[in-house]
Amino acid sequence: MALSLVMLCTTLLLVAGCARSIEGRAVPQGAGGGPGLSAEFTKLLTECDAVADDKIAETVGAAAVYRGFFGAICRWEGDGPAGVVKVTFNWFETGSLDHERKAGEELGYTVENTTVEGRRALQMRRPNDPMSCGVSAGAATTGIFGWWVQYTAAGTDPCEAAATLARLTLNLSS
């Protein structure tokens, strides 16, 4: 009986402690906000548009690129004379090149210092994968961004393609 009373009291305390009223009116998802709120998020996920698809295709030597996943990272895939090419873009608003270097080294990548448009940058290569390369640089505003280019057959230098995409990003975002 005593155990039942304790459990009942505990349950009542939990329910009373968690109950609260929230002011406002329920609306379907996507129907909320107002002019001030919607304007705040108008550029959410536009980082993937930092370089136009046709410029990405031209840079990596593909006839065209097709958008894949867009979110924390952005992905494209294209076909060209050198076969399939995969392109990945990331933008971390609170990232740092020191963190990128550490992550790359922990993955066993070859990490080298370089510059892009006068900014400190890193060039990374996966071990035993000469057909892929990434370049990360400080963003024009805050954080860092990076481009990875991976060819499936011999083609353009993936590091030069990644560096060119990084240059285009800085030119378009400044």
- Which tens digits make up the pLDDT trace of 48-87? 888 999 999 999 999 999 988 777 789 999 987 778 999 9
Residue 133 lies in a domain: yes
Q: How many domains does the chain have?
A: 1
Residue 56 located in a structural domain = no
Domain extent at residue 122? 74-173
Range in 31-45, 89-103, 113-127 with the lowest mean pLDDT: 31-45
Would you say 142 and 93 are in contact if contact means Cβ atoms under 8 Å apart?
Answer: yes
CATH of the domain at 143: 3.30.160
pTM for this predicted structure? 0.72
Q: What is the pLDDT of residues 112-125, one digit of tens each?
A: 999 998 889 999 99
